[in-house]
Amino acid sequence: MIAGYAHPDYAHALQEIGRPRRLARCKGWILEREIPGTSYRDAMGCYPVFVCQEWSALREDLDALGAGLVSLAMVPDPFGDYELSDLENCFDMARPFKDHVVVDLDRPWGEVVSKHHRKIARRALRQLEVQRCASPQEYQDDWIRLHGCLVSRHAIRGIAAFSRDSLCRQLAVPGASLFVAVHGGKVVGGALAYQQGDVVSAHLTAFDETGYELSAAYALKWRQLEYYADKARWFNLAGVPGVDDKGGGGLRRFKQGWSPETRTAYFCGRVFDGPAYEALSRARKGATDGYFPAYRAGEFS
């Protein structure tokens, strides 16, 4: 069953970022975007990772894609059915991007969770009621409020500063699962995940001040892992936010405390219109620090 990041509903939930476009052979989705101040367009994979059903057909899709696009950038799903050599054959560049922390649910996952995390999760669960929502959409107002707290607390801009419409659409994607943490009758935290086959992807978590104070993140993650332990093989906690794998601080430590295992996600880029790419990049003032596409350097800062 097509679900989660692979489902067309997820691509359309991101339509404010770019126009969804289906890749017919590999059955994946990308987002076409206008390049500001120009008549050109480029494309990116869906955020945070590109997922498709037939990875062996990706090269053929990309070869047929070029007309009208300057470039394409994406982060292929680290659980995709490909080798690094396949990515290098599809793209002009394929470089290590981020290490995703992953939990192997076929093993006794509770035994690999750090002592620190087990202690805080137990304490948090004594103070919070954590439940999986039978209908995520019923909690959309709470979810939007919590996401607003997240955006404000971390000054989030760009792609991850989802609009209300996008957040509501994301809750309705097949394969979505929302867990909420309740204290005193009020929802103080939430965690949204997507399941595609035997992989569950942690998509987004958000809390209000009470949720942070009561360590709701630990209670929610524990209950998510419990729930999926017999329903999937892998739980992907993903990497740290940002345009590289640096920093992350407390969030990195939080994720690493659940599992020592990681999978590498690669950043891939391909240029379709070389002259246009060079002209746009020359017009971009300042250092690009290897950002791809160079003419969009700084777009998320």
**pTM for the full predicted model:** 0.93
Query: Which pairs with CB-CB distance under 8 Å and at least 24 residues apart come from 123-126?
Result: 123/215, 124/181, 124/214, 124/215, 124/216, 124/218, 124/219, 125/219, 125/222, 125/223
Which residues are within 8 A (CB) of 73 and not within 5 positions of it... i.e. 6 or more apart? Answer: 42, 43, 44, 45, 267, 268, 269, 292, 293
Torsional sign, CA 211, 162, 137, 232: negative
Q: What is the largest CA-CA distance in the chain?
A: 61
pLDDT in tens, 118-152: 999 999 999 999 999 999 999 999 999 999 999 99
Query: How many Å apart are CA 238 and CA 263, to the nearest integer?
Result: 9
**Per-residue model confidence (pLDDT) at position 242:** 62
Per-residue model confidence (pLDDT) at position 77? 98
Count CB atoms within 10 A of the CB of residue 292. Answer: 22
CATH number belonging to the domain at 101-264, selected among 3.40.50.720, 3.40.630.30, 3.40.50.970, 3.90.226.10: 3.40.630.30
pLDDT score for 246: 61
Name the DSSP letter for residue 187. E
| C-alpha span between 209 and 193 (Å, rounded) | 22
Q: How many angstroms separate the CA atoms of 40 and 35, rounded?
A: 6
Query: Token pair for residue 25?
Result: 């052979």
Among candidates 34, 23, 30, which has minimal Cα distance to 56? Answer: 23
CA-to-CA distance for 247 and 125, rounded, in angstroms?
29
Q: What is the pLDDT of residues 106-125, one digit of tens each?
A: 999 999 999 999 999 999 99
Low-confidence stretches of the chain (pLDDT < 50) are: none
Q: Where are the domains of the chain?
A: 4-97+265-296, 101-264
